[in-house]
Chains A and B, each alone.
Chain A
Amino acid sequence: MKNSPLKAAIGGAAAIGLSVLFSTQAWAGKTLDTIKQRDQMVCGVNTGLAGFGAADSQGKWTGLDVDVCRAVAAAVLGSGDKVRYVPLSAPQRFTALQSGEIDMLSRNTTFTLTRDASLGLHQTAVTFYDGQGFMVPVKAGIKNAKQLKGATVCVQSGTTTEKNLTDFSKANNLGIKPVVFEKLEAANAAYFAGRCKAYTTDASGLASIRSKEAKDPKEHAILPELISKEPLGPLVRRGDDEWFAIVKWVIYGLVEAEEYGITAANIEKLKAESTDPVVMRLLGKSDDTGKLLGLDREWLVRAISTSGNYGEIFERNVGEKTPLALKRGPNAQWAKGGLQYAPPIR
């Protein structure tokens, strides 16, 4: 080449640049050790679903899934701020978790047999019981989902949504024509531009999208039918039972805290004064349940103080006072007729 120094300089600069970018994280199969060594947890979240995982323009993340991540990080590392959020689209989420890029996937992901058995992943605990629904413009005059004969429906690619839509269409002989987009934003944009007659995703997602993206939320109606069961919750990799247990039991801990009336506000008071044996066990005063998980005794205290109990997380992100205005419904405590039932923490 004309200028060997040129070649050498460019090559040198490139090598330096590459080494800056290349980040090696030792993942020796023990996720907990890696996280402690890194002093940071990496959490896979949604790219932008209000109420579940969304960042504002300054880059601050909020949402139900985000709060669950913070609770786990607080239990393991001591602070809910030691989390790095990686926004993932639906096609990328499983490979990111499989490859070790993230430690836990908290991205309103439905539990199914395929995902549990064949992707090398494990489903932890359900944080949100949901179902798939439809959103239609009010002026289309559609009152229930069976009226969608031959309709075009906007849907995001690679989700259980697509398959459920097909099953529903087949079962009711509707001949629905799906328009499939790679990105959620593209699907939303197409629906709101009028390309499709209906839009389908989880009912909570519909509420979130309608509140945040419709010009006038009153112009869109969410149909009453739920055409599938969608239990949503975080996933972790297979092969690391310790980490699996930690994530699962933090979630159960948050649910149990609500059942026993422990909130972020009264936790310090309860820790000092309470004599209820269950409460004392949860707060680490009588038994050290944390040691069995590989953590210290205050693991659940920190988790609850960071995000609040399950009920507080729900109300703050998707509850009746938020633009999503979702009722507890199946997400209420079992004692109140819902499905949130935490096994005993002992």
Chain B
Amino acid sequence: MAVSLNHIAPRTPPVSHTSWRLWLRQNLFANRTSSVTTLTLLVLGLWLLPQLWSWAVWHAQFKPDADACQSIRGIGACWGVVSEKYRIIIFGRYPFAEQWRPLLACGLLVSLLVVSCMRAFWRIGLLWAWLAVWLAFFGLMGGRLFGVSLGLSPVPTDQWGGLPLTLMLSSLSIALAFPLAVLVALGRRSDLPAIKTICVTYVELVRGVPLISVLFMASFMFPLLMPAGTTPDVLLRVLVGITLFSAAYTAEIVRGGLQAIPRGQYEAAASLGLGYWKTQRIIILPQALAHVVPGIMNNFIAIFKDTSLVTIVSLYELSGALGLALNGDPLWRPFKIEGYLFITLIYFAFCFAMSRYSLWVEHRLQRSQAR
């Protein structure tokens, strides 16, 4: 039998899925609302961004020259205020000649925190490094350690300020709050009614009040609570306040992690004959804490931002130090906005880096838990 070969007309080539035209259509002009949104946002952007660029970069003045800054006021930013005052802003009231010490201390602390985030360094040596760096930090900043002078001029704690103060308060309070938070979270889940009530009261009480009232309480009332004759250091009071505050929030995060552990784990541990504390230490807490690392990182970011509130109890962290630098100086005071933007940049850099790290950890956890 003969089969007729009717050639089928050649088909048109498939539509390309990678051309930029298609991407535009799908992502910017998919439907009517989308197109309208795109056009509005483009118009807004094209109107705002060139003005912002012109103010912040093109016409800006970078040299610390007050007269030049005055002449371009309103037209360009005066970043000269930063080049003039950056030392007071970053180090606060620390004696001028000794500012290499907080710089070194900060550098050590930041590198320690960065190194602790990298998995390759998670071994016993890291703990010794933590201890050493904290000792070095306090030794450098204060000039003395446990009353023993280190050959550096002593600097009292009410002169510590700026970035070292922020870093110290946030990392130390998180480190101290963590053990307390784990205990409180375990206590809240326990079935001993007294312990449970105490933990619940503590957490709900602390979470219901603003941090500023906790700081006021710590700074005004703490000396009254101590025996007559002792004067707790001003930094210590604030540290205690922030630690108690962050412990409550961290406890809730850890409790969320504990709730995610299946009952089977507890039962298996019991069947092996492990007691309460052994179960927690070997089986439950490692899994729970691994779950909540992103949450704890977010908490750390929140506490880092909240240390800016110590300005209100007259400790001169970054915004307080800016006030100190500019308020008494009529030459530079009109350029407060540039100063604020500088501090915003510092905070943004730190917090953004931490939040990216937290996302990375979350992704790694999801990967490690996928079967």
Contacts and interface: CB of A to CB of B under 8 A. Distances in A.
Interface residues of A, number: 55
Interface string B327-355: 11010011010000000000000000000
Contacts of B224: 99
Nearest to B325: A57
A308 B83 CA distance: 40
Interface string A69-111: 0000000000000001011110010010001110000000000
Given A5-B124, A58-B96, A214-B330, A100 B229 contact: yes
B333 A192 contact: yes
Given A185-B327, A212-B328, A14 B229 contact: no
Contact of A21 (B176, B228, B236, B327): B236
A48 B327 contact: yes
B182 interface: yes
B87 to A, nearest CB: 9
Given A1-B182, A47-B314, A17 B233 contact: no
Given A10-B130, A213-B330, A17 B96 contact: no
Contacts of A58: 95-96
A212 B130 contact: no
Nearest to B174: A10
Interface stretch (B57-65, B152-160, B267-275): B152-160
Contact of A11 (B138, B146, B179, B289): B179
Nearest to A56: B328
Nearest to B222: A99
A92 B219 contact: yes
A11 B158 CA distance: 24
A65 B239 CA distance: 31
Given A6-B127, A57-B88, A99 B330 contact: no
Interface string B74-99: 00000000000000100001011000
Given A1-B285, A16-B134, A188-B327, A182 B312 contact: yes
Interface in B124-153: 124, 127-128, 130-131, 134-135, 138, 142, 144-146
Nearest to A18: B236
Nearest to A87: B314
Contacts of B52: none
A215 interface: yes
Interface stretch (A24-32, A121-129, A285-293, A325-333): A24-32
Interface string A1-43: 1111111011111101111111111111000000000000000
Interface in B94-134: 95-96, 124, 127-128, 130-131, 134
Given A17-B172, A22-B232, A58-B95, A212 B330 contact: yes
Interface in A208-255: 212-215
B29 interface: no
B166 to A, nearest CB: 16
Contacts of A95: 220, 223
A50 B330 CA distance: 13
A103 to B, nearest CB: 11
Nearest to B142: A20
Given A13-B134, A25-B231, A215 B330 contact: yes
A195 to B, nearest CB: 14
A231 B142 CA distance: 39
B6 interface: no
A344 interface: no
A287 B175 CA distance: 61
Given A99-B224, A101-B231, A5 B127 contact: yes
B309 interface: no
Interface string B272-301: 000000000100011001000000000000
B328 A2 contact: no
B235 to A, nearest CB: 6
A21 B219 CA distance: 15
B202 interface: no
A43 to B, nearest CB: 13
With most chain A CB atoms within 10 A of its CB, the pick from B130, B176, B313, B314 is B314
Contact of A9 (B127, B286, B328): B127
B178 interface: yes
Interface of A: 1-7, 9-14, 16-28, 47-48, 50, 54-55, 57-59, 84, 86-89, 92, 95, 99-101, 182-183, 185-186, 188-189, 192, 212-215
17 contacts: A9-B127, A12-B131, A13-B134, A14-B172, A14-B176, A17-B134, A21-B138, A24-B229, A59-B159, A100-B231, A101-B234, A182-B312, A185-B328, A212-B330, A213-B330, A213-B333, A214-B330
Interface of B: 88, 93, 95-96, 124, 127-128, 130-131, 134-135, 138, 142, 144-146, 156-159, 172, 175-176, 178-179, 182, 219-220, 223-224, 228-236, 239, 281, 285-286, 289, 312-314, 323-324, 327-328, 330, 333-334, 336
A-B pairs, top 8 by smallest CB distance, nearest first, are A99-B223, A185-B327, A9-B127, A27-B229, A13-B134, A2-B286, A21-B236, A21-B233
Given A10-B127, A13-B130, A55-B93, 7 more contacts: A6-B127, A10-B130, A22-B233, A22-B236, A26-B229, A57-B88, A84-B156
